[in-house]
C-alpha cells in the first residue's frame, strides 16, 4: 500500500514538473517573439478625401423656344458637390516568384495590392505586402520598392521575420506605389428646378424644387390661370407660347 502511494506521488510530481516545463518554454517563446518582432503601423484602406469642387449646371438658355413634356424639367439651376478621393496601393513591377521554406509567393506584373501597413527595420521603412498565405507578408522598401531578404508573419499585431532568406527568380522585380483616384457627385447642395405638371382645373401647374437645404429638396406646387402668358419664378421670367396638358412651349427671357 505504501509503495502504491509513493508511486502515485512520484507520478504527480513528474506531471507537475512536465507541465511547468511546457509553460516555461511557451513563456520563453512568447518573450523571444516579442523581442525579435516589429510594431506595425497599420494603413487604412478607406479612401482619403483630397479635394471638393462645386459644379453649377444650368439646363436652359435665354431667347430660345423650348419644349417640356409633362414631368420634364422646364428650367434648372443646380449646384453639386463633387468630391475626389485617393487610395494608395502598391503594384508589382515585373513578374516574380519568391521561394522559401513555405509555399512560393507568385506575383504578376502590374498586380495591385492593398498595403497592410509599415514597419521600421534598422531605420528603413518597409511596406507590408500580402501573400497568398494568410498573415504572411513580403516587405518592400517604401522608397525603392526593393524587397527585404526575408518574409514575415503577422502575429498578435506584430511582424515576426522568418529566419531563412528567400530565393527570387527575377532580380529586377520590385514594387511601386500606385494612387487610385475616384470622384463622387452628391445630390444638389443649392439651387432650384422647375418641372411641368400639366393642366388641371383651368390652371397651369408646375412643381418647384428648392435645393437650398442639401439634406432634402423642398417641393412646392405652383399654378397660374391658363390664360397666363408671362410668369416669374425665382426671378426667372418665362414666356408661355403654347400650353397643353401633355407639353408646354416656352421661352426664357433675359
Q: Are residues 73 and 109 in the same domain?
A: no
**Is 40 among the domain residues?**
no
Q: Are residues 76 and 97 in the same domain?
A: no
| pLDDT digits (tens), the chain, 254 positions | 444 444 444 444 444 433 444 443 444 444 334 447 899 999 876 778 888 888 888 877 888 999 999 999 999 988 888 889 888 899 999 999 998 756 789 999 999 999 999 999 999 999 999 998 899 999 999 999 999 999 999 999 999 998 888 899 999 999 999 988 888 888 888 889 999 999 999 999 999 999 887 667 889 999 999 999 999 988 889 999 999 999 999 999 86
Largest CA distance in the chain: 121
pTM for the model: 0.57
Q: Are residues 130 and 97 in the same domain?
A: yes
Number of domains observed in the structure of the chain: 3
Distance CA 11, CA 87 (A): 62
Q: CB of 174 within 8 A of CB of 93?
A: yes
Amino acid at each position: 500500500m505504501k509503495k502504491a502511494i509513493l508511486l502515485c506521488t512520484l507520478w504527480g510530481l513528474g506531471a507537475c514538473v512536465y507541465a511547468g516545463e511546457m509553460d516555461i518554454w511557451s513563456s520563453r517563446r512568447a518573450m523571444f517573439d516579442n523581442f525579435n518582432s516589429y510594431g506595425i503601423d497599420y494603413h487604412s484602406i478607406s479612401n482619403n478625401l483630397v479635394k471638393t469642387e462645386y459644379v453649377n449646371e444650368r439646363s436652359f438658355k435665354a431667347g430660345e423656344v423650348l419644349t417640356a413634356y409633362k414631368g420634364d424639367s422646364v428650367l434648372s439651376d443646380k449646384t453639386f458637390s463633387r468630391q475626389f478621393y485617393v487610395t494608395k496601393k502598391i503594384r508589382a513591377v515585373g513578374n516574380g516568384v519568391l521561394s522559401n521554406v513555405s509555399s512560393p509567393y507568385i506575383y504578376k506584373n502590374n498586380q495591385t495590392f492593398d498595403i497592410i501597413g509599415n514597419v521600421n527595420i534598422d531605420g528603413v521603412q518597409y511596406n507590408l505586402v500580402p501573400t497568398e498565405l494568410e498573415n504572411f507578408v513580403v516587405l518592400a522598401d517604401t522608397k525603392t520598392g526593393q524587397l527585404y531578404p526575408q518574409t514575415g508573419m503577422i502575429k498578435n499585431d506584430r511582424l515576426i521575420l522568418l529566419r531563412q532568406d528567400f530565393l527570387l527568380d527575377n532580380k529586377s522585380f520590385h514594387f511601386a506605389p500606385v494612387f487610385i483616384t475616384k470622384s463622387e457627385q452628391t445630390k444638389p447642395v443649392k439651387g432650384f428646378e422647375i418641372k411641368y405638371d400639366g393642366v388641371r382645373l383651368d390652371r397651369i401647374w408646375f412643381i418647384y424644387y428648392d435645393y437650398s437645404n442639401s439634406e432634402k429638396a423642398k417641393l412646392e406646387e405652383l399654378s397660374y390661370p391658363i390664360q397666363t402668358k408671362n410668369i416669374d419664378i425665382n426671378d426667372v421670367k418665362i414666356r408661355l407660347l403654347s400650353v397643353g396638358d401633355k407639353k408646354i412651349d416656352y421661352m426664357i427671357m433675359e
